[in-house]
Chains A and B, each alone.
Chain A
């Protein structure tokens, strides 16, 4: 039976966002995760600063090195973020919908004059807002730490690159947030939803490169030809690799935080003619370079959210 609904689908959206954000920011779960992220990321940044101070005159992009430089035993700040952000995002939304079912609050909330659209989008946006608040605080802390310990302000170009990196990190978190939300719609038990999301994260972060090599070899033939690496294999490998949000995020971070990066795929010798190797790319060119990766992350978020939305619309509300 088809009928046009009247009234805005976003009625009550602001109320849902406000309540959910307050819940996130005051929850013990979020505080533990924030403490974990802040401690590890700040430790990595501090270790990088100590290393940078020894070589302070060698790079015009000191603040960017703050984020990219690894100092044993700690990995680089961006590597830690790439690892921990999915964890935070999953923790924020793995029980977003099934939690309402289990608490038996869903029918109470949906009996109020709001559509399901507002509830689901509100929960997603609240998660994204909480993640953004946490990341912005971390971003400002790292800059503050850099100012204090390096004694130098970041340049405009560095600020723009770091800002772009912040946006990319939020988009990356958005993908995992949407995925955990999807699992919270699919599975009635929050533990199952969390496990499914963490499993996807593990596959994506640990096993994807192995899988990529195997699938690329199956699709495009062996990696090495008579004259060296085969372009067909490299292209297939890159295409499959980029299905993982981790790859898209890593490429974005690389291009933005290492200005010398001129390409994010196989480069032919003929393409290098006239290029000044090692020279930094202007910030606008770096943004052009990461544009497909950034839009890919945002598109993945939208697609995953849309699937969760369709599934949620079809569910029976009896709890």
Chain B
């Protein structure tokens, strides 16, 4: 990895006797989208707040865009756009005034604000209501406005905390596209979410938190390899009551999961398509064997099934 835009080394946060974040290490490159996952209270938000310089670490250190959030929080905040979960705005003010206020705090000149405001609002699809009071906005529009605020800053890093929670499916789809465009601009994105399918669809890598520790990190395929075993996942379509036993009997098969009808999801340690075809074709009616992307939902569920101590 080239010089990371975010680096955390043994980052630790303790509240009294409670260890909220426990020696977390990770790197994030420029233009990378990394999903932060984990149950409530697993340390995701505390880690984000430490990276933003909004709370002091008890131990370890972090570097964001070349600055230490503890020593240079202002420099870090100049380069990081933050969209908190359930974002709030000043209801009595227009969208423009809300964004102009934070933009002025960010040190933007009046001319820069004028230039960037329309572009940011157009990009999030709020160009037509920019001068309306925020009190008239739906929750989805507020989330978009929050993203517009991030865009106005033109940050090196965007931290998005549960950005799609209040959005309908269509808006979610659009929002995920906007996140992809941030990546295209070269912005590193840290996306905290409980919507695993969304994280999988947009993130390059995933960091899984559990009880303050960074339990797993890597691509979904890498995580699937470690959690599901092997990381090679196929969907087998075959007719016959003995199909699950036959598949499970193939050496290298880790798990067989019925998907309904004659379809089965098979986790393997290596590419076993030929072996599966040989074993099944002899005794049952085999229709096909297809590649299946490992699902982050499965990885997550299996990890906490085995960890056994998740707090949902």
A→B interface (CB under 8 Å): 1, 3-7, 11-12, 15-16, 19, 23, 103-105, 107-115, 316-319
Contact = CB atoms under 8 A, between A and B. Distances in A.
B38 to A, nearest CB: 16
B49 A318 contact: yes
20 contacts: A3-B68, A5-B71, A6-B74, A7-B73, A11-B74, A11-B107, A12-B104, A19-B101, A23-B90, A103-B90, A103-B91, A108-B89, A109-B102, A110-B54, A111-B52, A112-B105, A113-B74, A113-B75, A113-B105, A319-B88
Interface string B32-57: 00000000000001000100101111
B78 interface: yes
B159 to A, nearest CB: 8
Interface residues of B, number: 37
A262 to B, nearest CB: 51
B73 A12 contact: no
A108 B77 CA distance: 11
B82 interface: yes
Nearest to A316: B55
B66 interface: no
B235 interface: no
Given A19-B101, A112-B106, A107 B74 contact: no
A112 B82 CA distance: 9
A7 B72 CA distance: 7
A6 B52 CA distance: 15
Given A5-B70, A103-B91, A113-B74, 19 more contacts: A3-B71, A5-B71, A11-B107, A12-B104, A15-B101, A23-B90, A103-B89, A103-B90, A104-B87, A108-B146, A110-B54, A111-B52, A112-B102, A114-B77, A114-B105, A115-B73, A317-B49, A318-B45, A319-B88
Contacts of A12: 104-105
Main secondary structure of the interface of A (DSSP, over half): loop
Contacts of A108: 82, 84, 87-89, 102, 146, 149
Contacts of A104: 84, 86-88
A11 B75 CA distance: 12
Contacts of B86: 104
Contact of A15 (B49, B59, B82, B104): B104
A298 to B, nearest CB: 29
B58 interface: yes
A103 B57 CA distance: 26
Given A15-B104, A105-B89, A4 B82 contact: no
Interface of B: 45, 49, 52, 54-59, 68, 70-75, 77-78, 80-82, 84, 86-92, 101-102, 104-107, 146, 149
B133 to A, nearest CB: 13
A113 B87 contact: no
B71 A6 contact: yes
Contacts of B105: 12, 15-16, 109, 112-114
Contacts of A111: 52, 54, 77, 80-82, 84
A113 B87 CA distance: 18
A104 B89 CA distance: 7
Contacts of B55: 316-317
A224 to B, nearest CB: 55
Which has the most chain A C-beta neighbours within 10 Å: B57, B74, B77, B86?
B74
Contacts of B81: 111
Given A111-B52, A111-B82, A318-B45, A103 B88 contact: yes
Contacts of A16: 105
